Amino acid sequence: MREILIVGGGYAGFYTAWGLEKKLRRGEARVTVVDPRPYMTYQPFLPEVVAGSIEARHAAVSLRRHLHRTRLIAGTVTDIRNAEHTVTVRPESGPDYQLTYDTLVVTAGAVTRTFPIPGLSEEAVGLKHVEEAVAIRDRLLTSFDRAASLPRGPERRKLLTVTFVGGGFSGVEGFGELLSLATALLDHYPELTSEEIRFHLVEARGRILPEVGDRPGEWVVRALEKRGARVHLNSQLVSAEHGHVVLSSGEEFETGLLVWSAGNASNPIVHNHTDLPVDERGLLTVRADLRVGTEAEPVEGVWAAGDDASVPDLAAHRPGAHTVPNAQHAVRQGKRLAKNILATLRGRTAKNYVHHSLGVVATLGLGRGIFQYRRLVIKGFPAWLMHRGYHVLAVPTWERKVRVFAVWATAALFGRDLVSLASVQQPREAFVSHGNPRRGEQPADVPAR
């Protein structure tokens, strides 16, 4: 029986395995997915997790619940040697080991791109995983609780200052949703005023949301600034040590929450630990049919899709165009991958991946959004409804669709759930402290002396 090994259980990996499960005949092949997480994150929902509009678990699709005939391995692939048809797996515990394959699918996904900025690794939170979205929300709620008990001054001002670095879709959506949550919180904190809340969005380029046109992007900046936010264009983060933000423009301020969403980088396994061909960006070289390699030199039995693959964009009708790394492409590439692998197993010809964009849509907070399809631009509440409608249809499985819709309906009736569960990040605190109060964020595993 042939071994089909999928590296990564994100969008493309999940949909590839899901599609293969539905069509493979008994005994035709065995599918294995290797991923350190037991779920696929539906990343377009992370901004709503940040705002408390969606439960964190509802943005995660369990691999074991939906991949019944796939072997799932909890671990990280650290090396790919296609010459030997082997990958090296590092499990959560125990020594590394090797797996062999007949067909390899690389859908490892991108990682957050960072730079050696002083204080960044100590202060910042990313926005790529469910855990990070939950941490951002809890940090804001906890900051409001702490600020309400303090007199006006530098410490209170720092707690109520939020900074996002990165003006792409992830950053702008997370920024807009968290700003919406902070504004709603004021109704429950009479000690605080809207003038004390400071939200900063830092973008190195001269505009935000590069996927939309110039004028819609400018409208988004104006809309955020009308809500009290500061958008720093043509600015870079120079330092963030101890929460003291220094920008390349010369501006400086204290921030209690720093979120880094300044783009993605290819997974280290792809550009550092494989003998497969990669391009100058560190992405796997992929043909239009999603097979790794070039038209002249295809790599037999190896396929790739998603953020780590440089896939030709045939719908763009211009030489050298490649698909952008977003969920819209990753999902559809995964579906095409499953069909192409089945076709080659059965002696048929694989088809090229072609997808015409459905447009781009972004949430900017509760009841606010923007949508663009070519020259058509829709703003405000209708765009927000389109965002929710599209993504509740796009999230995989009816079970997740129903759960998400139920949470939205409940929130419409009773409002957001404003409880912070930051303490779950230190679950032993109450047990170890025996009720004695602690200051700061001392780990619960280290008893106070």
Rounded alpha-carbon distances, angstroms, from residue 200 to 233, 253, 349: 11, 10, 52
Q: How far apart are CA 6 and CA 35, in angstroms?
A: 9
Q: How far apart are CA 175 and CA 180, in angstroms?
A: 9
What is the model's pLDDT at position 144?
Answer: 96
Pairing of strands 360-365, 198-202: unpaired
Q: How many degrees, rounded to 5, is the angle at CA 26 between CA 24 and CA 32?
A: 60
The DSSP code for 242 is G
Burial zone of 311 (CB within 10 Å; 0-12 exposed, 13-18 middle, 19+ buried): buried
* CA dihedral for 207, 211, 214, 216, sign (positive or negative): negative
Reduced to 3 states (helix: H, G, I; strand: E, B; else coil), residue 291 is strand
What is the model's pLDDT at position 324?
Answer: 86
How far is C-alpha 394 from the chain's CA centre? 15
Count of alpha carbons within 13 angstroms of residue 98, beta-carbon side: 10
What is the model's pLDDT at position 432?
Answer: 79
Q: By the 8 A CB rule, do 88 and 97 touch? A: yes
Q: Per-residue pLDDT tens for 34-50? A: 999 999 999 999 999 99
Q: Per-residue pLDDT tens for 107-123? A: 998 888 889 999 999 99
Place of tokens 């929460």: 243
What is the model's pLDDT at position 411?
Answer: 86
What is the model's pLDDT at position 426?
Answer: 72
What is the model's pLDDT at position 439?
Answer: 62
Q: By the 8 A CB rule, do 203 and 235 touch? A: yes
* Successive 10-residue mean pLDDT values, the chain, 449 residues: 94 95 93 95 93 90 93 96 96 94 94 92 94 94 95 96 95 96 94 96 94 92 96 97 96 97 88 91 94 93 94 88 88 95 95 90 94 93 94 88 91 80 72 69 42
Q: How far apart are CA 335 and CA 369, in angstroms?
A: 29
Q: How far apart are CA 144 and CA 285, in angstroms?
A: 48
